[in-house]
Amino acid sequence: MGRPMIEVFDIAIIFFLILISLQDLKNKIIPNSLTLGIIFLGVLKIIFFHLSFEMSFIGFGVYPIIFLIIYGYGSDFLKKEIIGFGDIKLMSSLGFYLGYTGIYSIIIFYNIIFILSFGFVILDFILKKYKKNEEIAFAPFICIGFIIYKILVNI
């Protein structure tokens, strides 16, 4: 099974990411059914391409670590929720789908996400559209960052 099968998985994951982004923008929530769908795609990818389940399982645990730290300690320090738990579950499911390929891959993925979100927030401040204490949906940045990361990895 070659390239056409990989493209089917790429299209399916993008479909899930679009639905997740729209849900987070509209309702500020990421449905579990969509993150579980990404995990299911990861399981299918493991089966069809004979990939390592262990590496996917490690990816499931390692990719959300920074978000867990921000969720736990950042929320305690600032006395308000900084990041939602849905974002953590999204990172776990994407980590499962990608599989663990090394710490540098994760660092690149995180840099893409944080540069995108920082750029948006700065642009929002400049255009004076951001209101203090307004929640910003973070899942679209994770989803766009994932797509950019996949494009960079495939180059």
For the segment 122-155, what is each residue's pLDDT rounded down to a tens digit? 888 888 776 667 788 999 999 999 999 999 987 6
Please report the pLDDT score of residue 3 as a whole number: 63
CA-CA-CA-CA torsion sign (147, 101, 112, 62): positive
Domain-by-domain residue ranges, the chain? 3-154
Distance separating alpha carbons of residues 154 and 84, to the nearest angstrom: 30
Q: How many CA atoms lie within 13 A of 129 on its CB side?
A: 7
Please report the pLDDT score of residue 31 as a whole number: 97
Judge whether residue 45 has pLDDT over 60: yes
Task: Tell which residue, 30, 9, 39, 13, has the closest CA to residue 140.
Answer: 30
Distance separating alpha carbons of residues 35 and 37, to the nearest angstrom: 5
Which residues, other chains included, contact 17 with Cβ-Cβ below 8 Å and sequence gap of 6+? Answer: 143, 146, 147
Which residues, other chains included, contact 49 with Cβ-Cβ below 8 Å and sequence gap of 6+? Answer: 1, 5
> How many CB atoms within 10 Å of residue 142?
25
Judge whether residue 2 has pLDDT over 60: no
Tens-digit pLDDT profile for residues 68-119: 999 989 888 888 888 999 999 999 999 999 999 999 999 999 999 999 999 9
